[in-house]
Structure 1
Amino acid sequence: MNKQTTRAFSTGILFTTAIIFFYSFIFHTASSSPSDSIPEDHIIVKESEIKEQENEISALKEELDSYRKKAEKDTSSQSEKYQLTLMIKAGMTPADIEEKLKEAKIISEDEPFVDYIVHNNYADKIQIGDFLVNSEMTVAEIAKLITE
């Protein structure tokens, strides 16, 4: 083999290597990053997870609506202020007092006046007399007023 043949052979190998390198560089990077790949700031969520979240959101919305309705009901019932001069006589029980307060709409039907009086040891401390109470007072405030 002469010098010229060796150079031509070397040039051929170099040219073939360059072609293979560029071919693999162009087509390999294109296949490793497809056009439908997901950007870094995106998250994949399954349909079942979406439906779970939608169900949870609808349940929370219903709960919020019920709270709003209850709050509207409470505010509408609280908009009217009732007042009563509570006359406590000898021999009256906490249940009798509770009944008078409920009749005058000072406390609601579901407020546990008797339970509060008994559990806080106010039953023996109830004073005889006239007490001015209103519907804006809490059970604790009424109990404190009639036991002082």
Structure 2
Amino acid sequence: MSKLGLRAFSAGIILATSIMGIMYYNEPKTVNTATVTDSDIEAYLSDQNHLVLIEKEEYDELLEIQSTHQETEKQEQTKAEVKIEEKIITKYILEITPGMNSLEISEVLEDVGVIKNAKELNTYILDNDLAKNIQIGSFTVTSEMTHKEIGDIITR
């Protein structure tokens, strides 16, 4: 860019800045003197289906009601948990016959309600190499027993 071009560019910037400054300071100043009152805000919020203003005392009452409701809910939940704790114990005499594998034994125990998941017991038996030690016969098992206890009983 030449010297003359640079001077023309600078002059354009100065001229544009001057015009914007003159317009800014010569524009009539309007001051919004309208005040917004509480009733205006409440009317606007109720028209727009938004929050409604309430007094602090009413807010505190609502918080107190909410906390008592939560306490009542916790008490009801505790009562429900006490009822859930009453557990039904299933006792079963397991007959292991020649040729039964660990999965078949696990499925029988699941079907009668001694265990909840046959695959878990079968995995436990296989992971601990108990499958080769399963004994033929009758064994008493209950739903309170762990997989380890059941494994110990059927591999004696």
TM range, smaller chain: 0.3 to 0.5
Structure with more relative contact order (C-alpha pairs < 8 Å, separation 6 or more):
1
